[in-house]
Amino acid sequence: MVSSVTIQTPEIRPERRKGHLSRAVRRLLRKKLAVISLLILIAVYTGGIFAAPLSPYDYTAQDYTAILQAPNADHWAGTDRTGRDVFTRVLYGVQNTVILTVIAMATGGLVLGVGLGLLSGYVGGKTDALIMRIGEVFSSFPDILLIIILAATLRPRIVNGVRWLEDNTFLDGLVRTGVVDYFVISIALVAFGWIGMARLVRGQILFLRTTQYIDAARAIGVSTKRILFRHLLPNAISPVVVTVTMGMGTLTGTEIVLSWLGLGIQPPRPSLGTMLLQAGNLSVLRETPWLLLAPGIAALLLVLAWNLLGDALNDVLNPRTR
């Protein structure tokens, strides 16, 4: 008589079925500084995006009965020398920073940087040499210096072209809306924002293209486009996420410096850099410190939060630190 033997298969726990993304999110949520930084960024960006409905004032509205008032119930961050609400102007300054940094990172860091890095690393040869030599020429000079030169030389020409367009077409008010400033600063930031990302992605692709699964994909006739975007790019996404996060902090600081130098968003549109410039003297610190505190805290939170979040993501996504 043969006794029956019951074979019990081990139960698969839910944790084992979870993917790389869910594990990374769980590890990120365990880091208190990362969570705090993420909440700060969400709060600041929400305030900038919804500046119009959140503020009861217009950023150009002047109240001559409330000049240089300290923070109070009506003006949470006080008023400036012409009676304008400082909190409202900070919100619109953050809005400018959000728009410019997102455009610069999306077009320069992601589209150009990732695209050229993929092309350079996978194709190689003369294409790789050409892309990398161009990047080396750009990176041989200080980024901020070239961005300042580019912004200073481009703006007058673009403004003249837009004014000619306004005079000869039905379009009107383009210069007044600040579109030209957005366009000029975006070009200046994008022109130098792709180099580091392209080098990073190229290095990842140079290693990944020699792996066995890529050789197998080529052997069965998988198209180059599918290999690039379905096999190579997903496996290089972790360092890209970290670079994008830290790059946002750098772009934020660069945009504020450009505005502080007078090459960024032009008045009457408020910007954090312009507000810091106007409040950057000892008499303001002694008599009306709120003019410096509000934009200064907003700029500090943006730059610091992005860098702390990037550092936390590096720990989370780096396999050597798990």
Which domains, ranges and CATH numbers included, belong to the chain? 27-54+61-321 (1.10.3720.10)
Q: What is the per-residue pLDDT for 321?
A: 55
pTM of the full structure: 0.80
pLDDT (tens, 9 = 90+) of the chain, 322 residues, equals 444 445 454 444 444 445 667 777 888 888 888 899 999 999 999 998 898 888 888 888 888 888 888 888 888 888 888 889 999 999 999 988 888 888 888 887 888 888 899 999 988 889 999 999 988 888 877 777 777 787 778 878 888 888 887 777 777 766 676 777 778 888 878 877 788 888 989 998 988 888 888 888 888 888 888 888 888 888 888 888 888 888 888 888 888 888 888 777 877 888 888 888 888 777 777 888 888 888 999 999 999 999 999 888 888 876 555 5
Q: Provide the 3-class DSSP secondary structure of residue 30.
A: coil
Yes or no: say if 92 and 59 are a contact pair by the CB < 8 Å rule.
yes
**Average pLDDT of the chain to the nearest whole number:** 82
Residue 43: which of 260, 250, 282, 305 has the closest Cα?
A: 305
Per residue in 13-33, pLDDT (tens digit) is 444 445 667 777 888 888 888
Q: What is the per-residue pLDDT for 20?
A: 66
Q: What is the per-residue pLDDT for 320?
A: 57
* Tokens representing residue 252 in the block: 């934020």
Yes or no: say if 93 and 84 are a contact pair by the CB < 8 Å rule.
no
Helical residues (DSSP H) of 140-236, grouped into ranges: 143-168, 174-177, 179-193, 195-208, 212-219, 224-226
Per residue in 204-236, pLDDT (tens digit) is 898 888 888 888 888 888 888 888 888 888 888
Q: Which residues contact 72 (CB under 8 A, 6 or more apart)?
A: 78
Yes or no: say if 306 and 252 are a contact pair by the CB < 8 Å rule.
yes
